[in-house]
Amino acid sequence: MPGTLPQVQRWYQDGAVPAGTGINAATPSLRSEYPDADEEELEFLATKAAEEASTIVAMTSGQRRATIAVDVAGDDTQPVAGGLTSLSLRADVPLPAWAAVFIDDLEWYAVDEIAHLE
């Protein structure tokens, strides 16, 4: 899911990404657009879409971009018009579902490092 570093740190302090947040995922639309792609390729495409979205937010806010990799059940999302990978969260995503965070040029950090990033 795309964001900025301050936003991700706020979510981290709150213990979850809130419902209603826009995310990017390997959606049915993405799967139909790339029928020969495997799961890893689809996740890569969704990550690139999240990276692009976080770049736009970072450019307009002047903050560092951040992308969080999370595990979300399909029932906890709903489609959003306008993108092959676009979804919205129906439920909060608690910290245990966070896998990693990528900052700026996709530097990888463990979730427990978020509080120490500047």
Distance in angstroms between the alpha carbons of the first and the last residue of the chain = 19
pLDDT tens-digit series, residues 32-74: 999 999 999 999 999 999 999 999 999 999 999 999 999 998 8
Q: Does the pLDDT at position 76 exceed 90? A: yes
Rounded to an integer, the average pLDDT of 89-104 is 94
In whole angstroms, what is the distance from residue 46 CA to residue 29 CA? Answer: 11
This prediction's pTM: 0.86
Total Cβ atoms within 10 A of residue 14: 12
> Which structure tokens are listed for 5?
């570093």
Q: Does the pLDDT at position 106 exceed 80? A: no
Rounded to an integer, the average pLDDT of 74-103 is 93
Helix/strand/coil for 16: strand
What per-residue confidence (pLDDT) applies to 85? 94
Residue 104: pLDDT band (50, 70, 90) is confident
In whole angstroms, what is the distance from residue 50 CA to residue 66 CA? Answer: 9
